[in-house]
Amino acid sequence: MANAALEQESEDRAGLQTKRKHKSTVKEVGDEALFQIAEILNRKVEEVIAVSKSGDYWYVQLEVLERKAVPDTQDILGIYELKVDSNYDVIDYKRIGMRHRGDMIELEED
């Protein structure tokens, strides 16, 4: 039984490595970053708000629910930036801001 599980895990990893040999798309990087930060922080990720690539790394910004409130416009959202490598592994992450859900923010363009 354990042998079958190990074989399945090996096949899953081989399939993932084959999948990653193609050129990554913004959607794939964003989706994977969303999944990983939810696992790391154990919090609900609201959405991906930016994805960009610089050199060998992808940079992803996401909004994460930090505190639920009533009314929901008073929910506190954390804005996180993740550095992701070509294998979709999170290399680094940091919270770069916070806001109430009802507050509009304007991000500066580079």
Q: What is the pLDDT of residue 72?
A: 83
Output the pLDDT for position 13.
47
What is the block-wise mean pLDDT of the chain (110 residues), using blocks of 10 residues? 53 52 83 93 93 95 93 91 93 94 72
* Domain 24-100, second-level architecture: Roll (3.10)
Q: Check residue 3 and give its pLDDT.
A: 52
pLDDT in the model for residue 22: 61
- Global pTM value: 0.73
CA distances to 8, 16, 53, 84, 102 from 25, rounded to whole Å, are: 27, 15, 10, 13, 31
Token pair for residue 50?
A: 């930016």
Residue spans of the domains in the chain: they are: 24-100
